[in-house]
């Protein structure tokens, strides 16, 4: 591998929760890097981070930062992506964007490699990384879609606070401590929206992630609905979602009801999931084994269990899907896309 091509890589949002995981994965996966540029807002510029044992100083992201960059991974919020990803693409970088800025842009492929890696090469400079809750849903359903066809999905999520960033993790821990020690609990961060109304997350379940839309769904729910159809390449799949924040730090869980077009045997579904790339089947009621957020945290896979045939609908299945929202739900999916791009150019 001495002649392996090496890439100039930029991580935008290097000091954030997802950026940190991206840097770790590039290191662990021995991504073929020539130069690594760590970028952030002016506020975090100057921070020193370590990569492969060497210290790298975080620089403020500007248009010039992207000169000579081959691959840029963005996770610094939608506004930064909107401002800088087109500029970076213009300067020749392939951008892998972790925000919702370009996901529904018809010119941007929306990619989960296990589902639609073939779309990567259609990019025009920007490839969108889907929403965390969507990624784990479609990664688990793809092998079943291919075999049986899917007419309808009803999903309810139980989402970790880390999705809303470090401040939300801190808030959950602080509120828990305050409640246990008899102090007044003061909500400050969640739910994240433009309104000043905040709710307690400790010992609670908040049925709102992102802002409300005119149709009564939240934006997180609409992201799941729209992105699932786009990634599966099937606008006819009926999807409805309810997204709930719970006091878990890492790992989103999902209760999923799926109606197939064709009849299925539960043993076949089990075999398909057991052999699916990136999916781990954990399903043994006798020994009380099923996916748990605490087990999924820190792991790259999507975990699936609680498989059971619906009692009323003859072609429907109920299941439970869990994955680390910062890994497969964000950083790992993005690095997987980067690995595809790198391997195509070897
Ligand atoms: O669309 O607050 O990528 O948990 C992922 C994290 C939206 C918000 C996205 C959260 C974000 C979500």
* CATH number, position 288: 3.30.360.10
Among the listed residues 268, 216, 262, 258, the one whose alpha carbon sits nearest the alpha carbon of residue 237: 258
pLDDT tens-digit profile of 90-148?
Answer: 999 999 999 999 999 999 999 999 999 999 999 999 999 999 999 999 999 999 999 99
Q: Give pTM, 2 decimals.
A: 0.97
Task: Reduce the DSSP state of residue 252 to 3 states and report it.
Answer: strand
Residues 313 and 175 in one domain: yes
Domain presence at residue 286: yes
pLDDT of amino acid 3: 77
Domain presence at residue 1: no
Residues 302 and 157 in one domain: yes
Q: Which atom of ligand 1 is nearest to the CA of 220?
A: 7
Domain presence at residue 320: yes
pLDDT tens-digit profile of 13-30?
Answer: 999 999 999 999 999 999
pLDDT of amino acid 298: 98
Residues 309 and 340 in one domain: no
Say if residue 318's pLDDT is above 90: yes
pLDDT of amino acid 346: 86
Ligand 1 contact via 164 beta carbon (within 6 Å): yes
The boundaries of the domain holding residue 293 are 134-325
Residues 155 and 44 in one domain: no
pLDDT of amino acid 306: 98
Evaluate whether 266 touches 149 at the Cβ level (below 8 Å).
no
Ligand 1 contact via 162 beta carbon (within 6 Å): no
Domain presence at residue 2: no
User: Is residue 132 annotated as part of the catalytic site, yes or no?
Assistant: yes
Task: Reduce the DSSP state of residue 332 to 3 states and report it.
Answer: helix
CATH of the domain at 91: 3.40.50.720
Whole-number Å distance, alpha carbon 297 to ligand 1 midpoint, is: 17
pLDDT tens-digit profile of 292-317?
Answer: 999 999 999 999 999 999 999 999 99
pLDDT tens-digit profile of 224-235?
Answer: 999 999 999 999
pLDDT of amino acid 203: 98
Residues 336 and 290 in one domain: no
pLDDT of amino acid 2: 59
Domain presence at residue 79: yes
Domain presence at residue 157: yes
Residue 308 bridge partners (DSSP) = 318
Residue 241 bridge partners (DSSP) = 155
Q: Which atom of ligand 1 is nearest to the CA of 164?
A: 2
Residues 245 and 337 in one domain: no
Residue 33 bridge partners (DSSP) = 7
Residues 241 and 272 in one domain: yes
pLDDT tens-digit profile of 173-196?
Answer: 999 999 999 999 999 999 999 999
Residues 229 and 244 in one domain: yes
Residue 158 bridge partners (DSSP) = 244, 253
The domain total for the chain is 2
Domain presence at residue 81: yes
Say if residue 1's pLDDT is above 60: no
pLDDT of amino acid 51: 96
Residues 43 and 160 in one domain: no
Cα–Cα distance measured from residue 175 to residue 189, given in angstroms and rounded to the nearest whole number: 11
Residues 150 and 186 in one domain: yes
Domain presence at residue 115: yes
DSSP string, 114-136: HHHGGGGGG-SSEEEPPPHHHHH
Ligand 1 contact via 223 beta carbon (within 6 Å): yes
Please give the span between the terminal C-alpha atoms of the chain, in angstroms, as a whole number: 10
Residues 320 and 334 in one domain: no
Ligand 1 contact via 129 beta carbon (within 6 Å): no
pLDDT of amino acid 36: 98
Residues 65 and 174 in one domain: no
């Amino acid at each position: 591998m001495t002649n392996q091509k090496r890439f100039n890589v930029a991580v935008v949002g290097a000091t954030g929760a997802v950026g940190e995981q991206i840097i770790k994965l590039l290191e662990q996966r021995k991504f073929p890097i020539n130069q690594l540029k760590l970028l952030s807002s002016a506020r975090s510029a100057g921070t020193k981070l370590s990569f492969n044992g060497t210290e790298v100083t975080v620089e403020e992201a500007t248009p010039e930062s992207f000169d000579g960059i081959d691959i840029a991974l963005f996770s610094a919020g939608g506004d930064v992506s909107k401002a800088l990803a087109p500029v970076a693409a213009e300067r020749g970088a392939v951008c892998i964007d972790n925000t919702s800025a370009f996901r529904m842009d018809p010119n941007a492929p929306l990619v989960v490699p296990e589902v639609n890696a073939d779309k990567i090469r259609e990019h025009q400079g920007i490839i969108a990384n889907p929403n965390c809750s969507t990624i784990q849903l479609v990664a688990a359903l793809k092998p079943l879609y291919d075999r049986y066809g899917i007419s309808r999905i009803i999903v309810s999520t139980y989402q970790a606070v880390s999705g809303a960033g470090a401040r939300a993790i801190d808030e959950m821990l602080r509120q828990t401590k305050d409640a246990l020690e008899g102090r007044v609990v003061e909500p400050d961060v969640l739910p994240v929206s433009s309104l000043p109304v905040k709710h307690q997350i400790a010992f609670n379940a908040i049925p709102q992630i992102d802002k409300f839309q005119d149709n009564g769904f939240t934006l997180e729910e609409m992201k799941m609905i729209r992105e699932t159809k786009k990634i599966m390449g099937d606008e006819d799949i009926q999807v409805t979602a309810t997204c709930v924040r719970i006091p878990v730090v890492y790992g989103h869980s999902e209760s999923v009801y799926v109606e197939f077009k064709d009849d299925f045997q539960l043993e076949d579904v089990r075999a398909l999931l057991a052999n699916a790339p990136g999916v781990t089947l954990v399903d043994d009621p006798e020994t009380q084994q099923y996916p748990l957020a605490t087990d999924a945290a820190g792991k790259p896979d999507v975990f699936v269990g609680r498989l059971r045939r619906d009692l009323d609908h003859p072609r429907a299945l109920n299941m439970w899907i869990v994955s680390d929202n910062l890994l497969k739900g964000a950083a790992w999916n993005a690095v997987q896309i980067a690995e595809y791009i790198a391997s195509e150019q070897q």
